[in-house]
Structure 1
Amino acid sequence: MSLTTRAAVTIDPKSATRPTASKTKSTKSDKAVGGASHVVLVIWSLVVIMPMLWTLIGSFKTTKEIFASPFGLPADWNFDNYINAWVGNNFGGMFINTVVVVGVSLVLVMVLGAMCAYVLARFSVPGSRVIYYLMLAGLTFPVFLAIVPLFFILQGMGLLNTLPGLIITYVAFALPFTVFFLFSFFKSLPYEIQEAAYVDGASEWRTFFQVMLPMAKPGMAAVAIMNFLGLWNQFLLPISLNTDKSKYVLSQGMASYASSAGYALDFGEMFAAVVITIVPVLIVYIFFQRQLQGSVSQGTSK
Protein backbone atom coordinates (compact mmCIF):
# COMPACT_ATOMS: atom_id res chain seq x y z
CA MET A 1 0.00 0.00 0.00
CA SER A 2 1.43 3.37 -0.96
CA LEU A 3 1.77 6.35 1.31
CA THR A 4 -0.97 8.22 -0.48
CA THR A 5 -3.32 5.25 -0.07
CA ARG A 6 -2.56 5.00 3.65
CA ALA A 7 -3.23 8.69 4.06
CA ALA A 8 -6.57 8.34 2.29
CA VAL A 9 -7.55 5.42 4.49
CA THR A 10 -6.75 7.15 7.78
CA ILE A 11 -8.69 10.31 7.00
CA ASP A 12 -12.12 10.47 8.65
CA PRO A 13 -14.59 11.70 6.05
CA LYS A 14 -16.78 13.24 8.74
CA SER A 15 -13.95 15.33 10.08
CA ALA A 16 -13.24 16.61 6.60
CA THR A 17 -16.67 18.18 6.29
CA ARG A 18 -17.19 19.03 9.93
CA PRO A 19 -17.41 22.82 10.36
CA THR A 20 -15.14 24.35 12.93
CA ALA A 21 -17.04 25.89 15.80
CA SER A 22 -16.28 29.53 16.10
CA LYS A 23 -15.89 30.72 19.66
CA THR A 24 -17.26 34.16 20.34
CA LYS A 25 -15.75 36.00 23.23
CA SER A 26 -18.10 38.11 25.29
CA THR A 27 -16.86 41.62 25.84
CA LYS A 28 -17.04 43.59 29.05
CA SER A 29 -20.04 45.53 27.77
CA ASP A 30 -21.90 42.29 27.03
CA LYS A 31 -21.21 41.02 30.53
CA ALA A 32 -22.32 44.34 32.02
CA VAL A 33 -25.59 44.27 30.06
CA GLY A 34 -26.18 40.64 31.01
CA GLY A 35 -25.50 41.31 34.69
CA ALA A 36 -27.77 44.37 34.72
CA SER A 37 -30.53 42.38 33.01
CA HIS A 38 -30.31 39.63 35.60
CA VAL A 39 -30.45 42.16 38.43
CA VAL A 40 -33.54 43.79 36.94
CA LEU A 41 -35.22 40.39 36.46
CA VAL A 42 -34.46 39.39 40.06
CA ILE A 43 -35.89 42.66 41.38
CA TRP A 44 -38.97 42.30 39.17
CA SER A 45 -39.47 38.71 40.33
CA LEU A 46 -39.31 39.79 43.96
CA VAL A 47 -41.80 42.59 43.30
CA VAL A 48 -44.25 40.07 41.81
CA ILE A 49 -43.64 37.08 44.11
CA MET A 50 -43.38 38.78 47.51
CA PRO A 51 -46.94 40.23 47.60
CA MET A 52 -48.36 36.87 46.51
CA LEU A 53 -46.33 35.05 49.15
CA TRP A 54 -47.38 37.57 51.79
CA THR A 55 -51.05 37.11 50.82
CA LEU A 56 -50.71 33.33 50.98
CA ILE A 57 -49.17 33.43 54.46
CA GLY A 58 -51.71 36.01 55.63
CA SER A 59 -54.56 33.74 54.56
CA PHE A 60 -53.63 31.39 57.42
CA LYS A 61 -53.57 34.17 60.04
CA THR A 62 -56.20 35.95 62.05
CA THR A 63 -56.69 39.69 61.69
CA LYS A 64 -54.96 40.25 65.04
CA GLU A 65 -51.91 38.27 63.91
CA ILE A 66 -51.74 40.17 60.62
CA PHE A 67 -51.58 43.55 62.38
CA ALA A 68 -49.31 42.30 65.19
CA SER A 69 -46.79 40.57 62.92
CA PRO A 70 -47.43 41.38 59.24
CA PHE A 71 -44.40 39.48 57.96
CA GLY A 72 -44.27 36.69 60.53
CA LEU A 73 -45.51 33.14 60.17
CA PRO A 74 -48.93 32.20 61.56
CA ALA A 75 -49.04 30.63 65.01
CA ASP A 76 -51.46 27.95 63.79
CA TRP A 77 -51.62 26.75 60.19
CA ASN A 78 -55.30 25.99 59.66
CA PHE A 79 -57.86 26.38 56.90
CA ASP A 80 -60.54 28.16 58.94
CA ASN A 81 -60.28 31.29 56.82
CA TYR A 82 -60.72 29.28 53.63
CA ILE A 83 -63.73 27.43 55.05
CA ASN A 84 -65.36 30.67 56.24
CA ALA A 85 -64.71 32.39 52.91
CA TRP A 86 -65.91 29.43 50.83
CA VAL A 87 -69.06 28.68 52.84
CA GLY A 88 -69.85 31.67 55.02
CA ASN A 89 -69.35 34.33 52.35
CA ASN A 90 -70.59 32.20 49.42
CA PHE A 91 -67.30 32.28 47.53
CA GLY A 92 -68.01 28.68 46.59
CA GLY A 93 -71.13 29.72 44.69
CA MET A 94 -69.34 32.67 43.10
CA PHE A 95 -66.50 30.36 42.09
CA ILE A 96 -68.96 28.06 40.31
CA ASN A 97 -70.62 31.04 38.59
CA THR A 98 -67.23 32.27 37.41
CA VAL A 99 -66.23 28.85 36.08
CA VAL A 100 -69.53 28.54 34.18
CA VAL A 101 -69.41 32.05 32.70
CA VAL A 102 -65.73 31.99 31.78
CA GLY A 103 -65.80 28.38 30.55
CA VAL A 104 -68.80 28.80 28.25
CA SER A 105 -67.60 32.21 27.05
CA LEU A 106 -64.14 30.84 26.29
CA VAL A 107 -65.48 27.92 24.24
CA LEU A 108 -67.84 30.15 22.27
CA VAL A 109 -65.31 32.89 21.59
CA MET A 110 -62.65 30.39 20.49
CA VAL A 111 -64.97 28.58 18.09
CA LEU A 112 -66.57 31.71 16.65
CA GLY A 113 -63.28 33.63 16.55
CA ALA A 114 -61.45 30.79 14.80
CA MET A 115 -64.19 30.43 12.20
CA CYS A 116 -64.32 34.17 11.55
CA ALA A 117 -60.54 34.50 11.33
CA TYR A 118 -60.35 31.49 9.00
CA VAL A 119 -62.89 32.91 6.57
CA LEU A 120 -61.34 36.39 6.59
CA ALA A 121 -57.83 35.02 6.08
CA ARG A 122 -58.45 32.28 3.50
CA PHE A 123 -61.38 33.43 1.35
CA SER A 124 -62.08 36.48 -0.79
CA VAL A 125 -65.45 37.34 0.71
CA PRO A 126 -67.06 40.64 -0.33
CA GLY A 127 -66.51 43.12 2.47
CA SER A 128 -64.00 40.91 4.28
CA ARG A 129 -61.50 43.74 4.68
CA VAL A 130 -64.21 46.00 6.10
CA ILE A 131 -65.17 43.33 8.62
CA TYR A 132 -61.52 42.83 9.58
CA TYR A 133 -60.96 46.56 10.14
CA LEU A 134 -64.17 46.76 12.16
CA MET A 135 -62.77 43.97 14.34
CA LEU A 136 -59.60 46.00 14.79
CA ALA A 137 -61.69 49.04 15.68
CA GLY A 138 -63.38 46.94 18.36
CA LEU A 139 -60.01 46.54 20.07
CA THR A 140 -59.72 50.30 20.50
CA PHE A 141 -63.28 50.82 21.80
CA PRO A 142 -63.30 51.59 25.56
CA VAL A 143 -65.45 49.18 27.53
CA PHE A 144 -66.94 51.79 29.84
CA LEU A 145 -68.49 53.66 26.89
CA ALA A 146 -70.64 50.60 26.09
CA ILE A 147 -71.96 50.00 29.61
CA VAL A 148 -75.15 52.10 29.26
CA PRO A 149 -76.14 50.73 25.81
CA LEU A 150 -75.37 47.18 26.97
CA PHE A 151 -77.53 47.70 30.04
CA PHE A 152 -80.61 48.61 28.01
CA ILE A 153 -79.94 45.97 25.34
CA LEU A 154 -79.71 43.18 27.91
CA GLN A 155 -82.72 44.58 29.75
CA GLY A 156 -84.77 44.53 26.53
CA MET A 157 -83.68 40.94 25.86
CA GLY A 158 -84.52 39.85 29.41
CA LEU A 159 -80.89 38.88 30.06
CA LEU A 160 -79.97 41.56 32.58
CA ASN A 161 -78.64 40.13 35.89
CA THR A 162 -78.30 36.67 34.35
CA LEU A 163 -75.34 34.45 33.60
CA PRO A 164 -76.28 34.07 29.88
CA GLY A 165 -76.26 37.86 29.59
CA LEU A 166 -72.73 37.96 30.99
CA ILE A 167 -71.66 35.17 28.65
CA ILE A 168 -72.92 37.02 25.56
CA THR A 169 -71.21 40.21 26.70
CA TYR A 170 -67.92 38.43 27.39
CA VAL A 171 -67.98 36.80 23.97
CA ALA A 172 -68.70 40.11 22.24
CA PHE A 173 -65.76 41.88 23.86
CA ALA A 174 -63.27 39.02 23.49
CA LEU A 175 -64.12 38.27 19.85
CA PRO A 176 -62.17 41.14 18.17
CA PHE A 177 -58.91 40.21 19.92
CA THR A 178 -59.39 36.54 19.05
CA VAL A 179 -60.00 37.26 15.36
CA PHE A 180 -57.06 39.67 15.20
CA PHE A 181 -54.70 37.17 16.84
CA LEU A 182 -55.75 34.11 14.81
CA PHE A 183 -55.94 35.95 11.49
CA SER A 184 -52.16 35.86 11.01
CA PHE A 185 -51.96 32.17 11.94
CA PHE A 186 -54.54 31.11 9.37
CA LYS A 187 -53.04 33.47 6.81
CA SER A 188 -49.62 31.83 7.15
CA LEU A 189 -50.86 28.25 6.65
CA PRO A 190 -49.94 26.74 3.24
CA TYR A 191 -52.72 26.77 0.68
CA GLU A 192 -51.51 23.48 -0.81
CA ILE A 193 -52.81 21.54 2.20
CA GLN A 194 -56.22 23.15 1.90
CA GLU A 195 -56.36 22.35 -1.81
CA ALA A 196 -55.26 18.75 -1.14
CA ALA A 197 -58.17 18.37 1.30
CA TYR A 198 -60.56 19.60 -1.39
CA VAL A 199 -59.11 17.13 -3.88
CA ASP A 200 -59.67 14.29 -1.41
CA GLY A 201 -63.35 15.26 -1.24
CA ALA A 202 -63.40 17.05 2.10
CA SER A 203 -66.10 19.65 2.57
CA GLU A 204 -65.45 23.16 3.86
CA TRP A 205 -66.48 22.20 7.40
CA ARG A 206 -64.34 19.07 7.43
CA THR A 207 -61.37 20.94 5.97
CA PHE A 208 -61.63 23.57 8.68
CA PHE A 209 -62.17 21.32 11.71
CA GLN A 210 -59.97 18.36 10.74
CA VAL A 211 -57.20 19.95 8.68
CA MET A 212 -56.75 23.69 9.18
CA LEU A 213 -57.79 24.06 12.82
CA PRO A 214 -55.30 21.45 14.14
CA MET A 215 -52.54 23.23 12.21
CA ALA A 216 -53.40 26.47 14.04
CA LYS A 217 -53.28 24.75 17.44
CA PRO A 218 -50.33 26.83 18.73
CA GLY A 219 -52.18 30.07 18.04
CA MET A 220 -55.38 28.67 19.49
CA ALA A 221 -53.59 27.73 22.70
CA ALA A 222 -51.98 31.14 23.08
CA VAL A 223 -55.15 33.15 22.50
CA ALA A 224 -57.16 30.79 24.72
CA ILE A 225 -54.83 31.45 27.65
CA MET A 226 -54.93 35.21 27.10
CA ASN A 227 -58.72 35.19 26.83
CA PHE A 228 -59.00 33.08 29.98
CA LEU A 229 -56.91 35.55 31.97
CA GLY A 230 -58.89 38.51 30.68
CA LEU A 231 -62.31 36.95 31.23
CA TRP A 232 -61.46 35.58 34.69
CA ASN A 233 -60.28 39.00 35.90
CA GLN A 234 -63.14 40.93 34.26
CA PHE A 235 -64.61 43.40 36.75
CA LEU A 236 -66.38 46.33 35.07
CA LEU A 237 -68.84 44.29 33.01
CA PRO A 238 -70.17 42.01 35.78
CA ILE A 239 -70.39 44.77 38.36
CA SER A 240 -72.44 46.90 35.94
CA LEU A 241 -74.63 44.24 34.34
CA ASN A 242 -75.08 41.72 37.14
CA THR A 243 -76.50 43.04 40.40
CA ASP A 244 -78.11 39.79 41.56
CA LYS A 245 -76.00 38.57 44.50
CA SER A 246 -76.87 34.95 43.84
CA LYS A 247 -75.21 35.27 40.41
CA TYR A 248 -72.10 37.17 41.47
CA VAL A 249 -68.73 36.20 39.99
CA LEU A 250 -65.53 36.23 42.02
CA SER A 251 -64.29 39.66 40.97
CA GLN A 252 -67.42 41.50 42.03
CA GLY A 253 -67.84 39.24 45.04
CA MET A 254 -64.41 40.32 46.30
CA ALA A 255 -65.30 44.00 45.88
CA SER A 256 -68.70 43.53 47.54
CA TYR A 257 -67.17 41.65 50.48
CA ALA A 258 -64.46 44.27 51.08
CA SER A 259 -66.85 47.24 50.84
CA SER A 260 -69.68 45.75 52.92
CA ALA A 261 -67.44 44.73 55.83
CA GLY A 262 -66.04 48.23 56.29
CA TYR A 263 -63.76 48.55 59.31
CA ALA A 264 -64.84 45.12 60.58
CA LEU A 265 -63.19 43.38 57.65
CA ASP A 266 -61.62 40.02 58.44
CA PHE A 267 -58.32 40.32 56.60
CA GLY A 268 -57.53 36.63 57.02
CA GLU A 269 -60.72 35.65 55.21
CA MET A 270 -60.14 38.31 52.57
CA PHE A 271 -56.64 36.97 51.88
CA ALA A 272 -58.08 33.47 51.66
CA ALA A 273 -60.66 34.71 49.16
CA VAL A 274 -57.89 36.33 47.12
CA VAL A 275 -55.97 33.04 47.04
CA ILE A 276 -59.13 31.22 45.94
CA THR A 277 -59.50 33.75 43.13
CA ILE A 278 -55.94 33.65 41.79
CA VAL A 279 -55.09 29.94 42.20
CA PRO A 280 -57.06 28.78 39.10
CA VAL A 281 -55.32 31.43 36.99
CA LEU A 282 -51.90 30.32 38.22
CA ILE A 283 -52.72 26.66 37.59
CA VAL A 284 -53.86 27.35 34.03
CA TYR A 285 -50.83 29.50 33.25
CA ILE A 286 -48.32 27.07 34.76
CA PHE A 287 -49.94 24.14 32.97
CA PHE A 288 -49.92 25.87 29.58
CA GLN A 289 -46.73 27.92 30.03
CA ARG A 290 -44.64 25.88 27.60
CA GLN A 291 -47.42 25.90 25.04
CA LEU A 292 -47.77 29.66 25.38
CA GLN A 293 -44.05 30.31 24.90
CA GLY A 294 -43.89 27.99 21.89
CA SER A 295 -46.97 29.58 20.37
CA VAL A 296 -45.65 33.11 20.63
CA SER A 297 -42.24 32.16 19.23
CA GLN A 298 -43.80 30.22 16.37
CA GLY A 299 -46.15 33.07 15.53
CA THR A 300 -43.35 35.65 15.44
CA SER A 301 -41.06 33.46 13.35
CA LYS A 302 -43.56 32.97 10.53
Structure 2
Amino acid sequence: MGKKKLKSRSSNWSTHVILTAWVLLIIIPTLWVVLNSLKSSANILIDPYSLPVPPHVENYENAWLDAGLGRGFINSIYITFLSVFSIVFFASLPAYVMARKKFAGKALVYYYFISGLMFPTFVAMVPLFLLMAKLNLLNNHFGLILVYTAYSLPFTIFILYAFFKALPRSLEEAAVIDGAGPFRTFFTVMLPLAKPGLISAAIFNVVGIWNEYVLALILIQTPELKTLPVSIANLMLVMQYKTDWGALYAGLIMSIIPVVIIYLIFQRQLAEQTTAGAVKE
Protein backbone atom coordinates (compact mmCIF):
# COMPACT_ATOMS: atom_id res chain seq x y z
CA MET A 1 0.00 0.00 0.00
CA GLY A 2 2.85 2.36 0.88
CA LYS A 3 4.49 1.89 -2.53
CA LYS A 4 1.18 2.46 -4.31
CA LYS A 5 0.52 5.67 -2.38
CA LEU A 6 4.08 6.88 -3.06
CA LYS A 7 3.71 6.09 -6.76
CA SER A 8 0.34 7.85 -6.88
CA ARG A 9 1.73 10.95 -5.16
CA SER A 10 4.71 11.00 -7.51
CA SER A 11 2.39 10.78 -10.52
CA ASN A 12 0.16 13.58 -9.18
CA TRP A 13 3.22 15.75 -8.47
CA SER A 14 4.61 15.29 -11.99
CA THR A 15 1.18 16.05 -13.47
CA HIS A 16 0.92 19.28 -11.48
CA VAL A 17 4.42 20.31 -12.58
CA ILE A 18 3.60 19.72 -16.26
CA LEU A 19 0.27 21.57 -16.03
CA THR A 20 1.88 24.48 -14.15
CA ALA A 21 4.61 24.76 -16.80
CA TRP A 22 1.97 24.67 -19.54
CA VAL A 23 -0.06 27.43 -17.87
CA LEU A 24 3.04 29.59 -17.47
CA LEU A 25 3.92 29.13 -21.15
CA ILE A 26 0.51 30.60 -21.99
CA ILE A 27 0.23 33.31 -19.32
CA ILE A 28 3.73 34.82 -19.53
CA PRO A 29 3.69 35.70 -23.28
CA THR A 30 0.12 37.02 -22.97
CA LEU A 31 1.08 39.18 -19.98
CA TRP A 32 4.10 40.47 -21.90
CA VAL A 33 1.84 41.52 -24.80
CA VAL A 34 -0.56 43.25 -22.36
CA LEU A 35 2.31 45.22 -20.78
CA ASN A 36 3.73 46.24 -24.16
CA SER A 37 0.30 47.41 -25.30
CA LEU A 38 0.49 50.06 -22.55
CA LYS A 39 4.00 51.33 -23.39
CA SER A 40 5.36 53.73 -25.97
CA SER A 41 7.22 52.43 -29.01
CA ALA A 42 10.50 53.76 -27.66
CA ASN A 43 10.10 51.93 -24.36
CA ILE A 44 9.18 48.71 -26.16
CA LEU A 45 12.36 48.82 -28.24
CA ILE A 46 14.69 50.03 -25.47
CA ASP A 47 13.40 47.92 -22.58
CA PRO A 48 10.71 45.43 -23.69
CA TYR A 49 10.53 43.82 -20.23
CA SER A 50 9.95 47.00 -18.22
CA LEU A 51 6.65 47.96 -16.61
CA PRO A 52 4.39 50.49 -18.39
CA VAL A 53 5.03 53.55 -16.21
CA PRO A 54 3.12 55.66 -17.03
CA PRO A 55 0.63 53.50 -18.98
CA HIS A 56 -0.04 54.70 -22.52
CA VAL A 57 -3.75 53.94 -22.79
CA GLU A 58 -3.87 56.03 -25.97
CA ASN A 59 -2.36 53.05 -27.80
CA TYR A 60 -5.79 51.46 -27.86
CA GLU A 61 -7.34 54.64 -29.23
CA ASN A 62 -4.65 54.81 -31.92
CA ALA A 63 -5.21 51.17 -32.84
CA TRP A 64 -8.99 51.59 -32.95
CA LEU A 65 -9.13 54.87 -34.89
CA ASP A 66 -5.83 55.70 -36.62
CA ALA A 67 -4.82 52.13 -37.55
CA GLY A 68 -8.37 51.22 -38.60
CA LEU A 69 -8.60 48.16 -36.36
CA GLY A 70 -11.94 49.31 -34.97
CA ARG A 71 -13.57 48.85 -38.35
CA GLY A 72 -12.03 45.41 -38.72
CA PHE A 73 -13.10 44.52 -35.17
CA ILE A 74 -16.75 45.35 -35.89
CA ASN A 75 -16.62 43.48 -39.22
CA SER A 76 -15.22 40.39 -37.50
CA ILE A 77 -17.84 40.56 -34.75
CA TYR A 78 -20.89 40.32 -36.98
CA ILE A 79 -19.24 38.05 -39.59
CA THR A 80 -18.29 35.59 -36.86
CA PHE A 81 -21.72 35.77 -35.23
CA LEU A 82 -23.68 35.21 -38.46
CA SER A 83 -21.28 32.52 -39.66
CA VAL A 84 -21.37 30.53 -36.42
CA PHE A 85 -25.15 30.77 -36.20
CA SER A 86 -25.50 29.53 -39.81
CA ILE A 87 -22.95 26.76 -39.31
CA VAL A 88 -24.50 25.36 -36.12
CA PHE A 89 -28.06 25.60 -37.45
CA PHE A 90 -27.45 24.06 -40.87
CA ALA A 91 -25.12 21.39 -39.45
CA SER A 92 -27.65 20.33 -36.79
CA LEU A 93 -30.26 19.39 -39.43
CA PRO A 94 -28.30 16.69 -41.32
CA ALA A 95 -26.52 15.58 -38.14
CA TYR A 96 -29.86 14.87 -36.45
CA VAL A 97 -31.31 13.03 -39.46
CA MET A 98 -28.22 10.86 -39.92
CA ALA A 99 -27.96 10.08 -36.22
CA ARG A 100 -31.62 9.30 -35.48
CA LYS A 101 -33.25 8.16 -38.72
CA LYS A 102 -32.83 5.07 -40.88
CA PHE A 103 -32.75 5.46 -44.64
CA ALA A 104 -30.99 3.96 -47.61
CA GLY A 105 -27.50 5.30 -48.20
CA LYS A 106 -27.19 6.88 -44.76
CA ALA A 107 -23.59 5.76 -44.33
CA LEU A 108 -22.71 7.06 -47.79
CA VAL A 109 -24.20 10.47 -47.02
CA TYR A 110 -22.42 10.62 -43.66
CA TYR A 111 -19.00 9.81 -45.12
CA TYR A 112 -19.65 12.25 -47.95
CA PHE A 113 -20.00 15.06 -45.40
CA ILE A 114 -17.04 13.84 -43.33
CA SER A 115 -14.81 13.66 -46.40
CA GLY A 116 -14.82 17.46 -46.34
CA LEU A 117 -12.49 17.26 -43.33
CA MET A 118 -9.74 15.88 -45.60
CA PHE A 119 -10.07 18.67 -48.17
CA PRO A 120 -7.22 21.23 -47.82
CA THR A 121 -8.29 24.86 -47.99
CA PHE A 122 -5.42 25.90 -50.24
CA VAL A 123 -6.40 23.42 -52.96
CA ALA A 124 -9.67 25.28 -53.55
CA MET A 125 -8.32 28.82 -53.51
CA VAL A 126 -8.25 29.43 -57.27
CA PRO A 127 -11.56 27.71 -58.19
CA LEU A 128 -13.22 29.29 -55.15
CA PHE A 129 -12.06 32.76 -56.23
CA LEU A 130 -13.34 32.20 -59.78
CA LEU A 131 -16.66 30.83 -58.52
CA MET A 132 -17.23 33.75 -56.16
CA ALA A 133 -16.34 36.17 -58.96
CA LYS A 134 -18.96 34.62 -61.27
CA LEU A 135 -21.56 34.81 -58.50
CA ASN A 136 -20.66 38.48 -57.84
CA LEU A 137 -19.85 37.62 -54.22
CA LEU A 138 -16.27 38.87 -54.16
CA ASN A 139 -15.56 41.75 -51.81
CA ASN A 140 -18.82 40.94 -50.05
CA HIS A 141 -19.42 39.93 -46.44
CA PHE A 142 -22.33 37.70 -47.42
CA GLY A 143 -20.07 35.74 -49.76
CA LEU A 144 -17.45 35.36 -47.04
CA ILE A 145 -20.09 34.08 -44.59
CA LEU A 146 -21.26 31.52 -47.17
CA VAL A 147 -17.70 30.27 -47.64
CA TYR A 148 -17.10 30.03 -43.88
CA THR A 149 -20.35 28.11 -43.48
CA ALA A 150 -19.52 25.66 -46.26
CA TYR A 151 -15.99 25.01 -45.01
CA SER A 152 -17.06 24.48 -41.40
CA LEU A 153 -20.06 22.20 -42.00
CA PRO A 154 -18.15 18.86 -42.16
CA PHE A 155 -16.40 19.32 -38.81
CA THR A 156 -19.56 20.64 -37.12
CA ILE A 157 -21.67 17.77 -38.46
CA PHE A 158 -19.03 15.36 -37.15
CA ILE A 159 -19.36 16.85 -33.63
CA LEU A 160 -23.16 17.13 -33.56
CA TYR A 161 -23.68 13.65 -35.02
CA ALA A 162 -22.06 12.12 -31.93
CA PHE A 163 -24.21 14.22 -29.57
CA PHE A 164 -27.49 13.39 -31.31
CA LYS A 165 -26.49 9.73 -31.48
CA ALA A 166 -26.02 9.60 -27.69
CA LEU A 167 -29.41 11.12 -26.79
CA PRO A 168 -31.98 8.67 -25.30
CA ARG A 169 -34.61 7.50 -27.75
CA SER A 170 -37.28 7.42 -25.02
CA LEU A 171 -37.66 11.22 -25.06
CA GLU A 172 -38.01 11.31 -28.82
CA GLU A 173 -40.57 8.50 -28.72
CA ALA A 174 -42.50 10.29 -25.96
CA ALA A 175 -42.73 13.42 -28.12
CA VAL A 176 -44.05 11.38 -31.04
CA ILE A 177 -46.66 9.72 -28.79
CA ASP A 178 -47.78 13.19 -27.63
CA GLY A 179 -48.48 14.06 -31.26
CA ALA A 180 -45.36 16.09 -32.10
CA GLY A 181 -44.34 16.01 -35.74
CA PRO A 182 -40.73 15.68 -36.99
CA PHE A 183 -40.02 19.41 -36.98
CA ARG A 184 -41.56 20.00 -33.56
CA THR A 185 -39.73 17.01 -32.11
CA PHE A 186 -36.45 18.33 -33.45
CA PHE A 187 -36.79 21.97 -32.42
CA THR A 188 -38.56 21.56 -29.05
CA VAL A 189 -37.10 18.28 -27.75
CA MET A 190 -33.91 17.09 -29.46
CA LEU A 191 -32.25 20.42 -30.18
CA PRO A 192 -32.46 21.66 -26.55
CA LEU A 193 -31.12 18.29 -25.35
CA ALA A 194 -28.13 18.69 -27.67
CA LYS A 195 -27.28 22.10 -26.21
CA PRO A 196 -23.85 20.97 -24.87
CA GLY A 197 -22.96 19.78 -28.37
CA LEU A 198 -24.20 23.00 -29.94
CA ILE A 199 -22.12 25.04 -27.50
CA SER A 200 -19.03 22.93 -28.16
CA ALA A 201 -19.44 23.36 -31.90
CA ALA A 202 -20.00 27.10 -31.46
CA ILE A 203 -16.81 27.49 -29.40
CA PHE A 204 -14.66 25.72 -31.99
CA ASN A 205 -16.15 27.70 -34.85
CA VAL A 206 -15.91 31.07 -33.08
CA VAL A 207 -12.18 30.57 -32.48
CA GLY A 208 -11.56 29.33 -36.02
CA ILE A 209 -13.53 32.01 -37.86
CA TRP A 210 -12.44 34.89 -35.62
CA ASN A 211 -8.77 34.10 -36.37
CA GLU A 212 -9.26 33.12 -40.04
CA TYR A 213 -6.95 35.03 -42.36
CA VAL A 214 -6.44 33.41 -45.78
CA LEU A 215 -10.04 33.33 -47.05
CA ALA A 216 -10.75 36.84 -45.79
CA LEU A 217 -7.58 38.10 -47.48
CA ILE A 218 -8.49 36.55 -50.84
CA LEU A 219 -12.22 37.31 -50.94
CA ILE A 220 -12.21 40.85 -49.44
CA GLN A 221 -10.21 43.67 -51.04
CA THR A 222 -11.85 46.88 -49.79
CA PRO A 223 -10.13 48.12 -46.59
CA GLU A 224 -13.46 49.10 -45.00
CA LEU A 225 -14.72 45.50 -45.34
CA LYS A 226 -11.64 43.66 -44.08
CA THR A 227 -11.75 41.54 -40.92
CA LEU A 228 -9.61 42.09 -37.84
CA PRO A 229 -6.86 39.50 -38.64
CA VAL A 230 -6.35 41.03 -42.08
CA SER A 231 -6.34 44.54 -40.61
CA ILE A 232 -3.69 43.55 -38.05
CA ALA A 233 -1.57 41.99 -40.80
CA ASN A 234 -1.85 45.21 -42.82
CA LEU A 235 -0.85 47.18 -39.73
CA MET A 236 2.28 45.03 -39.41
CA LEU A 237 3.20 45.90 -43.01
CA VAL A 238 2.73 49.59 -42.26
CA MET A 239 5.18 49.20 -39.38
CA GLN A 240 7.99 49.16 -41.96
CA TYR A 241 7.38 52.87 -42.49
CA LYS A 242 5.73 54.03 -39.26
CA THR A 243 6.76 52.49 -35.95
CA ASP A 244 3.79 52.43 -33.59
CA TRP A 245 4.44 49.16 -31.81
CA GLY A 246 2.19 50.09 -28.91
CA ALA A 247 -0.82 50.27 -31.24
CA LEU A 248 0.13 46.92 -32.76
CA TYR A 249 0.24 45.21 -29.35
CA ALA A 250 -3.03 46.92 -28.43
CA GLY A 251 -4.59 45.48 -31.59
CA LEU A 252 -3.41 42.00 -30.58
CA ILE A 253 -5.09 42.38 -27.19
CA MET A 254 -8.27 43.59 -28.90
CA SER A 255 -8.28 40.39 -30.97
CA ILE A 256 -7.81 38.17 -27.89
CA ILE A 257 -10.40 39.63 -25.49
CA PRO A 258 -13.63 38.74 -27.37
CA VAL A 259 -12.57 35.12 -27.86
CA VAL A 260 -11.68 34.75 -24.18
CA ILE A 261 -14.99 36.28 -23.07
CA ILE A 262 -17.06 34.11 -25.41
CA TYR A 263 -15.16 30.99 -24.41
CA LEU A 264 -15.66 31.64 -20.69
CA ILE A 265 -19.38 32.29 -21.12
CA PHE A 266 -20.02 29.22 -23.26
CA GLN A 267 -17.70 27.01 -21.23
CA ARG A 268 -19.67 27.74 -18.05
CA GLN A 269 -22.96 26.92 -19.76
CA LEU A 270 -21.45 23.77 -21.23
CA ALA A 271 -20.32 22.56 -17.81
CA GLU A 272 -23.72 23.32 -16.26
CA GLN A 273 -25.63 21.52 -19.01
CA THR A 274 -23.35 18.48 -18.90
CA THR A 275 -23.66 18.21 -15.10
CA ALA A 276 -27.43 18.61 -15.24
CA GLY A 277 -27.71 15.84 -17.78
CA ALA A 278 -25.60 13.54 -15.66
CA VAL A 279 -27.79 14.16 -12.60
CA LYS A 280 -31.00 13.40 -14.53
CA GLU A 281 -29.60 10.13 -15.75
Q: TM-score range by the shorter chain?
A: over 0.9
Query: What is the CA distance between 1:260 and its match in structure 2?
Result: 2.6
Q: Which residue of 2 aligns with 1:16?
A: none
What does 1:157-196 align with in structure 2 at a 5 Å threshold? Answer: 157-196=135-174
Contact in 1 for aligned 2:239/2:245 (Cα 8 Å): no
Question: 1:258 touches 1:265 (CA, 8 Å); kept in 2?
Answer: no
Q: Which residue of 2 aligns with 1:275?
A: 253
Tell me what 2:120 maps to: 142
Cα distance in 2 between the residues matched to 1:75 and 1:53:
15
Q: 92, 103, 106: which is aligned to 1:128?
A: 106
Q: For residues 159 and 173 of structure 1, what CA distance do their matches in structure 2 show?
A: 16
Q: Could you tell me which residue of structure 1 aligns to residue 45 of structure 2?
A: 67
After superposition, give the CA deviation of every residue in 1:166-196 in whole Å (9 maximum; x if it has no partner).
1001001111111100101111212222122
AA in 2 matched with 1:40: I
Q: Report the Cα offset of residue 76 of structure 1.
A: 1.4
What is the aligned partner in structure 2 of residue 92 from structure 1? 70
Q: Quick one: distance in 2 between partners of 1:234 and 1:248?
A: 12
C-alpha contact 2:163 2:194 (8 A) present in aligned 1: yes
Q: Report sequence identity in percent.
A: 38
Instruction: Give the length in aligned residue pairs.
Output: 279
Structure 1 residues without counterparts, runs of 5 or longer? 1-22
TM-score by length of 1: 0.87
1:132 is matched by which residue type in structure 2?
Answer: Y
1:94-136 Cα shifts (integer Å, max 9, x gaps):
1111011111011111110111100111112333221210121
| Partner in structure 2 of residue 77 of structure 1 | 55
The 1-side partners of 2:276 and 2:125 are apart by 37
Conserved in 2, the CA contact under 8 Å of 1:219 and 1:295?
no
Query: What letter matches 2:7 in structure 1?
Result: S
Deviations 1:225-250 (A, max 9, x none): 11111111111111122122111001
Consecutive unaligned residues in structure 2, runs of 5 or more: none
Measure, in 2, the Cα distance between the counterparts of 1:297 and 1:235: 36
Q: Is 1:247 equivalent to 2:216 in the alignment? A: no
Q: Is the 8 A contact 1:222 1:296 kept in 2?
A: no
Distance in 2 between residues matched to 1:43 and 1:201, nearest whole Å:
56
| Bigger radius of gyration among the two | 1
- Residue 33 of structure 1 and its aligned partner are, at CA, apart by 1.6
Write the letter of the residue equivalent to 1:104.
Answer: L
Measured in 1, the distance between the counterparts of 2:30 and 2:61 equals 20
**Residues 1:32 and 2:10 are matched in the alignment:** yes
The Cα of 1:293 is off from its aligned counterpart by: 5.0
Q: 1:244 to 1:172 in 2, by over 3 A?
A: same
8 Å Cα contact 1:110-1:178 kept in structure 2: yes
Distance 1:27 1:79 in 2: 53
The Cα shift of 1:258 comes to 0.3
Relative to 1, partners in 2 of residues 1:169 and 1:24: Cα closer, same or farther, differing over 3 Å?
farther
State the alpha-carbon separation in 1 of the partners of residues 275 and 121 from structure 2.
Answer: 30
**Among 17, 25, 30, which residue is 1:52 paired with?**
30
Q: Does 1:211 align with 2:189?
A: yes
